[in-house]
Amino acid sequence: GEDVEQSLFLSVREGDSSVINCTYTDSSSTYLYWYKQEPGAGLQLLTYIFSNMDMKQDQRLTVLLNKKDKHLSLRIADTQTGDSAIYFCAESSTGGYNKLIFGAGTRLAVHP
């Protein structure tokens, strides 16, 4: 079945870059997403990438997709304390119309 895996925890120093990794198993995935969840809040869509793309950049965020290895990464440049949150990777094979399959989430801690 479909599965999405992420490392559970990442700690970075303020100002450094953060790289959060994700692997997925569904070869029919056409959309891959990154969501951010702050404590006690819902999910905020950060960015998404189509499976026919290798890279997408949006201000401080860079998404890299290796479709062959089914590997997705999110790089946050110049990480700030406000970036501390849980980051979820999710995949969908129907453009989010139906099921989004989420990873367990990576908790990013930014320290001075």
Partner 1 sequence: GAVVSQHPSWVICKSGTSVKIECRSLDFQATTMFWYRQFPKQSLMLMATSNEGSKATYEQGVEKDKFLINHASLTLSTLTVTSAHPEDSSFYICSARRQKDTQYFGPGTRLTVL
Q: Where along the sequence are the contacts to partner 1 (CB under 8 A)?
A: 31, 33, 35, 40-45, 48, 88, 95-100, 102-105
| For partner 1, the closer CB: 17 or 25 | 25
| For partner 1, the closer CB: 79 or 106 | 106
Task: Tell me the C-alpha to C-alpha distance, in Å, between residue 41 and each of 35, 37, 69.
Answer: 12, 6, 32
The token pair at 17 is: 């870059």
Residue 69 identity (one-letter amino acid):
D
CB of 41 to partner 1, least distance (A): 6
CB of 11 to partner 1, least distance (A): 16
